[in-house]
Amino acid sequence: MSSKILMPALSPTMTEGIINQWLVKVGDNVKAGDIIAEIETDKATMEVEAVDEGKITHLLEDTANKQIPVNSVIAIIDGDDSEIIENKIKIDSNSKNTNDIETQKTKQILDSKISQNNNSKNPNDRLKASPLVKKIAKENNLDLSTFNGTGPDGRIIKRDIDSNNIAEEIPNTSLKGDITIPSTMRKVIAKRTLEAKQQIPHFYLTVESNVDKLISLRSKINENNLVKVSFNDLIVKAIGLAMKKNPNTNVYWQNEKIYQLNDIDVSVAVAIDEGLITPIIKNADSKGLNIISSEIRELAKLAKTNSLTPEQYTGGSITVSNLGMFGISEFAAIISPPQSSILAIGKIIKKPIVVDDEVVVGNTLKSTLSADHRVLDGAVAGKLLKDFNDIIEDPFEIWMKSSDMEIL
């Protein structure tokens, strides 16, 4: 009896996948659990296993850059000729060569626009408009026939073509450059971030913290600690502790319902070549700093080699995104659904601050919380950010709640 191997859904957001490499060939005998292929998903490159024992009688061919829909047949074990032909027809009709199609579409659009620009006469010469307006129209490829003149005898004047009256920006087809077809991950990032901004009512809260004590704590920990703790490790621990004090922020909105989460899992944004991925530190509130630091390093390493499993990046209570190492003083991040918040961390800046009614030079940090107003109100999100600020300004609690730390 034949067995069909389907394109698996390897993440909750995956609808298509690309076969990067076959690790078997037609005629090979396989056992259940043998790795037969590497699949590129919207999050990572993952391995696919054979589901039964037998001989490989069909593998999907010519898979380079082809998006294969989830649940499509990609291989057959012990199949006959009729099954192979039938399934090859289905695959060929469902899959598409993204590079060929997208490149051809883009080329057709650009060729059309260039042709229109080159072949059309300039209608602006026959319209009543001031010399200045005609000059601006020529420089910006504007069709003056689309504007209503408010000058004498319907003459088009400068205020008629102000930017706030222009209905559509005319693309500049004289620009030179290459067309790049985005990866599967980049397409998913584009789709999900657009949906997040359109569907999630974001609001933003920013706090500026004195982190002198946090810096001192990190230095003392790293003096004798085998695992070197980063500033970001301390931030992950701090937001985990703050969420524990505010369980009403550990929620998300989905299908007109509010879901309360039991565990506090903190996602950490990791930049990779294809975009951004957010592996998760599970139970961040209860883990020690050594464990958090080791896990973040290991997950980041796996992320950069596309080796994360869905369990390592799916879910999460909140995301921490840190751009301080790039010199960014503050920024607001986009929430990653289904989470209801994301914490954006800037760089540490030395500046004059007031301590005990005296002006001194201190280390400050700006943190911005983006929150989903469908489930979090200003006071609720504000309390979370306040508790986070209190913890990093007086971080004794971070050390006390880290059972794997030496006494300082």
Domains 3-94 and 100-165 share a fold: no
Element (H, E) at 249: none
- The per-residue DSSP string of 41-103 comes to -SS-EEEEE-SS-EEEEEE----TTEEEETT-EEEEES--HHHHHHHHHHHHHH-EEHHHHHH
Domain boundaries, the chain: 3-94, 100-165, 185-400
Q: What is the pLDDT of residue 254?
A: 92
Q: What is the pLDDT of residue 91?
A: 52
Question: At 92, is the pLDDT very low, low, confident or very high (cuts 50, 70, 90)?
Answer: low
Residues of the chain with pLDDT > 70: what percent? 81
CATH number of 185-400, picked from 3.90.198.10, 3.40.50.720, 3.30.559.10, 3.30.530.20: 3.30.559.10
Amino acid occupying residue 146: T
- Region 391-405: mean pLDDT is 81
Question: What are the tens digits of pLDDT across the range 41-78?
Answer: 767 777 888 888 899 988 887 666 677 888 888 889 98
Alpha-carbon gap, residue 322 to 383, rounded angstroms: 21
| Residue 340 and residue 319 in contact, taking contact as beta carbons nearer than 8 Å | no
Query: Given a cut of 60, is residue 321 above it in pLDDT?
Result: yes
Query: Is 202 considered catalytic here?
Result: no
Alpha-carbon gap, residue 282 to 317, rounded angstroms: 9
Alpha-carbon gap, residue 147 to 62, rounded angstroms: 52
Question: What are the tens digits of pLDDT across the range 223-273?
Answer: 987 789 999 999 999 999 999 999 999 999 999 999 999 999 999 999 988
pTM score: 0.68
| Residue 35 and residue 48 in contact, taking contact as beta carbons nearer than 8 Å | yes
Task: Give the tokens for residue 337.
Answer: 């659904």
Q: Which of 245, 304, 373, 383 is catalytic?
A: 373
For 100-165, which CATH class?
A: few secondary structures
Query: Given a cut of 60, is residue 306 above it in pLDDT?
Result: yes
Fold of 3-94: OB fold (Dihydrolipoamide Acetyltransferase, E2P) (2.40.50)
